[in-house]
Amino acid sequence: MSKSRAEIPQRQRAFFDAGKTRSVAFRLERLRALQSALEAHEAELLEALHADLRKSPTEAYVTELAYLHAEIRHALRHLKSWMKPQRRSTPPLTWPSRAWTQPEPLGVALILGPWNYPVQLLLTPLVGAIAAGNCAVLKPSEHAPATAEVLERLVERTFAPEHVTLIRGGPDTAEALLRERFDKIFFTGGATIGRKVMAAAAHHLTPVTLELGGKSPCIVCADAPPRIAARRIVWGKFLNAGQTCVAPDHVWADHRIMPFLLEEMVRAVRDFYGEDPSKSPDYARIVNRAHFDRLCEYLRQGHIVIGGQHNREELYIAPTVLTGTSPESPVMQDEIFGPILPVLSFQSLEQVVIELRRRPSPLALYLFTRDRAIQQRLLSETRSGGVCLNDTVLHLTVRDLPFGGVGASGFGTYHGRAGFECFSHQRAVLQRRFAFDSRRRYPPCRLSLATLKRVMRWLLSV
């Protein structure tokens, strides 16, 4: 990173220290400016997303721009209430007093975005950062260069550089930024890079939110309607050619329903993308050749029910459903992050629970069943960042649900109020009056230890 770029965090900090980001008026005005900028650059962004990932305009708008607009509208609607201090109870020891928490901005945030949803996953955290009153430095992924170029123009035209700035570049740029001192780092991406981000943040003791991924399982019980389950799974899996952090990674199907589920999955793929998905305007492409080559290795690790066709020049891999994969095979050990869906059968739910417990906690867990007892059992006996019952992916759209991982799938949450709190510090405040000042508070203590215990139990109760 050049000297001028190295000075960016200091420039942002000076702007923040001047207090210009703190007022509710400033925050609301900047959120509206971002909203207007997205509308003004909509055509450019849709074109860039098609160039980078061959996303159709409809898929790009729904999963990137519409999502962002909803996030901004939600913040505009609720920001004033989020900013209000929250009263807290006080014990008799502090009487007369009152206590509260007040959310305060952290300062200067570094937001590192991924390539799979390069607009939404870079700017949604920015909404939270602006709403909370911070300055921000954005680093988009170099693997979506056309989108990064448009985002750079959008940010330059919308924000003062000392408030929000965007820096393009590769891994060297990211590493250089991570050597600087920030007040918050927000990273979306894979676990390997996530570990490097955490290691760099440790040098300055910077708080970090990691949005990672993992092998999000999908469980289909015998009582689930095969057609509806299949369509919802196929939609969630092959959205963006499977390059979605919460895409169903693999399916566990009850052996009694598995033949019918597979039949309906084949039908759903053909309904959605036609007999030749390579000609479908609604089917995306793999981001680059390295990712393509990795995915092609998985095609050999099971029986292909549908799909399997691929073209390296076009970075095309057809929507593929596999059966007969071993739980120990690489396709069942690695996060797939592509349009390949292994489907395994199970005899008993206990078998699945045991398998899930021995694996790292995923970002999402999907369960299809009408049985409330089974739903409750999976909720109580497994761990995941989030859960969606009887559908896939849509839990992300609920603004009042915090989104984030647990364990290997990350930590920290955002979306809606959680995004505001992600970039805020809840400052605790106790205010006392001068009206009362008991002499018993100060040395020497004239009470026996037994009496003191009884007194303190009351004085510290709330």
CATH of residue 198's domain is: 3.40.605.10
pLDDT value at position 440? 86
- Please give the chain's pLDDT, 462 residues, in tens: 454 667 888 999 999 999 999 999 999 999 999 999 999 999 999 999 999 999 999 999 999 999 999 999 999 999 999 999 999 999 999 999 999 999 999 999 999 999 999 999 999 999 999 999 999 999 999 999 999 999 999 999 999 999 999 999 999 999 999 999 999 999 999 999 999 999 999 999 999 999 998 999 999 999 999 999 999 999 999 999 999 999 999 999 999 999 999 999 999 999 999 999 999 999 999 999 999 999 999 999 999 999 999 999 999 999 999 999 998 999 999 999 999 999 999 999 999 999 999 999 999 999 999 999 999 999 999 999 999 999 999 999 999 999 999 999 999 999 999 999 999 999 999 999 998 888 888 999 989 999 999 999 999 998
- How many CB atoms sit inside 10 A of residue 456's CB? 13
For residue 458, report the phi and psi dihedrals to the nearest 5 degrees: -80, -45
User: What span, in angstroms and rounded, lies between the C-alpha atoms of 405 and 211?
Assistant: 6
Residue 245 is a catalytic residue: yes
Instruction: Please report whether residue 159 resides in a domain.
Output: yes
One domain, residues 154 and 46: yes
Place of tokens 């509308």: 39
Q: Domain of 382: which CATH number?
A: 3.40.309.10
Residue 277 lies in a domain: yes
In the set 71, 211, 335, 421, the catalytic residue is: 211
Number of domains making up the chain: 2
- 3-class SS string, 120-186: HHHHHHHHHHHHCCCEEEEECCCCCHHHHHHHHHHHHHHCCCCCEEECCCCHHHHHHHHCCCCCEEE
Indicate whether 454 belongs to any domain.
no
Same domain, 206 and 340: no
d(CA 171, CA 141): 9
Same domain, 346 and 417: no
CA distance 27 to 23: 7
Active-site residue, selected from the candidate residues 218, 221, 245, 388: 245
Other CB atoms within a 10 A radius of the CB of residue 446 amount to 9
* Assigned domain for 197 exists: yes
- Specify whether 422 is catalytic: no
Contact 239, 53 (CB under 8 A): no
Single-letter code of the amino acid located at 75: A
Q: Which residues contact 339 (CB under 8 A, 6 or more apart)?
A: 237, 238, 241, 242, 295, 307, 317, 318, 319, 320
Residue 128 lies in a domain: yes
Same domain? 207 vs 263: no
Pair 38, 91 in one domain:
yes
* Whether residue 178 sits in one domain with residue 84: yes
CB 318 within 8 A of CB 308: yes
Sheet of 320-323: strand order equals 303-306, 320-323, 340-346, 250-254, 217-220, 364-368, 386-389
Q: Could you please report the per-residue DSSP string of 343-400? A: EEEES-HHHHHHHHHTSPPPSEEEEE-S-HHHHHHHHHH---SEEEESSSSGGGG-TT
**Domain assignment present for 433:** no
Return d(Cα 340, Cα 320) in angstroms, integer: 5
Q: Which residues contact 176 (CB under 8 A, 6 or more apart)?
A: 1, 5, 6
Q: Quick one: pLDDT at residue 384?
A: 96
Containing structural domain, residue 358: 217-404
Which amino acid, 88? Answer: R
Q: Are residues 380 and 232 in the same domain?
A: yes
> What's the helix, strand, coil split of the chain in %, to 5?
45, 20, 35
- CA–CA gap between residue 149 and residue 137 (Å, rounded): 15
Q: Is the residue at 307 inside a domain?
A: yes
Distance of alpha carbon 221 from alpha carbon 364, whole angstroms: 17
The Cα-based distances of 13 to 17, 159, 179, 198, 346 in angstroms read 6, 15, 16, 22, 55
Verify that 176 and 309 share a domain, yes or no. no
pTM, entire model: 0.95
- 164 and 71 in a single domain? The answer is yes
Residues 171 and 300 placed together within one structural domain of the fold: no
Contacts of 216 (CB under 8 A, 6+ apart): 246, 247, 248, 249, 362, 363, 364, 365, 366, 384
20 in Cβ contact with 76 (< 8 Å)? no
Same structural domain, 246 and 372: yes
Q: Which residue has the tokens 């945030």?
A: 109
Q: Is residue 452 part of a domain?
A: no
Do 266 and 352 belong together in one domain? Answer: yes
